[in-house]
């Protein structure tokens, strides 16, 4: 269980850092950054278990960072390489959190893009604030 918490904490920090610089990341990039930061073995995306494990981790990260992210899901920042959309787990969690997820593919893409934009706006300037002193 301690290993999962380590990955949740590191994953949350990685995704907030991506939001601060107005970026998204791919599943592969995110998994590699997570391994570098935690030393925990990566996910094998060629297996159902590996993909399910990453989906579960992103749900846990999104839940852990929900308030800090202003009621948004950090997992939205992780996408399939070359895709302009989130994975199905993002939409399932958004529905569970009471967000109005559109039913059409186009509507979902717009919903995701707006969610990403709101995350970027929420964290804008976080990395550029002067040090308190």
**Alpha-carbon span 125 to 44, nearest angstrom:** 35
Q: For the segment 6-51, what is each residue's pLDDT rounded down to a tens digit?
A: 999 999 999 999 999 999 999 999 999 999 999 988 888 888 898 8
Encoding tokens for residue 77? 């920042």
Quote the pLDDT of residue 133: 41
pTM for the full model? 0.89
Q: How far apart are CA 49 and CA 55, in angstroms?
A: 10
Among 69, 115, 65, smallest CA distance to 90 is for: 115
Which residue, among 132, 130, 126, 11, has the nearest Cα to 64 in the 3D structure?
A: 11
């Amino acid at each position: 269980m301690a290993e999962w918490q380590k990955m949740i904490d590191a994953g949350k920090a990685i995704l907030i850092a991506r939001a601060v610089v107005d970026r998204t990341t791919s599943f592969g990039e995110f998994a590699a950054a997570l391994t570098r930061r935690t030393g925990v073995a990566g996910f094998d995306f060629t297996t159902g278990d590996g993909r399910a494990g990453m989906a579960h981790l992103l749900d846990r990260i999104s839940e852990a960072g929900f308030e800090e992210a202003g009621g948004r899901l950090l997992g939205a920042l992780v996408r399939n390489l070359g895709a302009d959309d989130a994975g199905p787990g993002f939409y399932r969690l958004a529905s569970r959190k009471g967000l109005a997820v559109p039913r059409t593919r186009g509507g979902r893409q717009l919903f995701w893009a707006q969610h990403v934009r709101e995350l970027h706006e929420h964290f804008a300037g976080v990395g550029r604030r002067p040090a308190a002193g």
